[in-house]
Amino acid sequence: MDEKNLSLRLEKVANYVRKNDRLADIGSDHAYLPSALVLNGTIDYAIAGEVVDGPYQSAKSHVSELGFENKIDVRFGDGLDVVELEDNITAISICGMGGSLIASILDKGFNAGKLSGKERLLLQPNVGEYTLRKWLVEHDYKIVAEDLLEENHKLYEIMVAEKSDQPVEATEADLQFGFLLKEDQTPLFKKKWQQELQKNQYIQTSLEQSKSDQTEKLKIVKETIQQIEELLKA
């Protein structure tokens, strides 16, 4: 793999792309992910979608330099607007955005009929994991793999989801902490939620010292603290 251009996050995402997948990489930046996957022989077709002109031109240049114009189709457009059903896409990657934005991209694509239900979704939210998991569950996507990594002193989650032919059920804990991550309880997972616990404890202290009425906010923060404490004791 052309690892020099891939962040650790994209390397991890690349591991979940299957041999001969037809990939649509949304928000592809320099098209680093599809380029690396073509270089190492995992895939031989990808769409690199970009909605911002600068990254779109960078992606075109990068693909051209590698001579991959016949394998990576760089398209300008918003989210899943760049995908057509006849492209026969089997994997969609959306990385490096907030979970709410990823969910809105999926939602718009879903409502526009851009998702066939045959795609594996490879998602790497920077924040807002709860919102993204909630969208997946509500649209009957089952999370088949989850990963957690640390890069530049920040913790990131990766979700891999596939369409289920059955309704997907989830508890609040599943949505908050991850279906699989909370079962594994790796050192990185514990580190993430220790940090979240400290952050919420700090918020609680600030709210308690506030001169205005913070009853509702305090209730939510205390509930969150209790959930995290129970999780870490499990």
The beta strands (E) that lie in 99-188 are given as 120-125, 141-151, 154-163
- Residue 83: what are its φ and ψ, rounded to 5°? -105, 135
In Å, what is the CA distance from 98 to each residue of 27, 69, 107, 171, 207? Answer: 12, 30, 14, 22, 26
pLDDT in tens, 44-68: 999 999 999 999 999 999 999 999 9
Q: Length of the chain, please?
A: 234
Per-residue pLDDT reduced to its tens digit, 149-201: 999 999 999 999 999 999 999 999 999 999 999 998 899 999 999 999 999 99
Q: Hey, how many other C-beta atoms are within 10 angstroms of the C-beta on 136?
A: 26
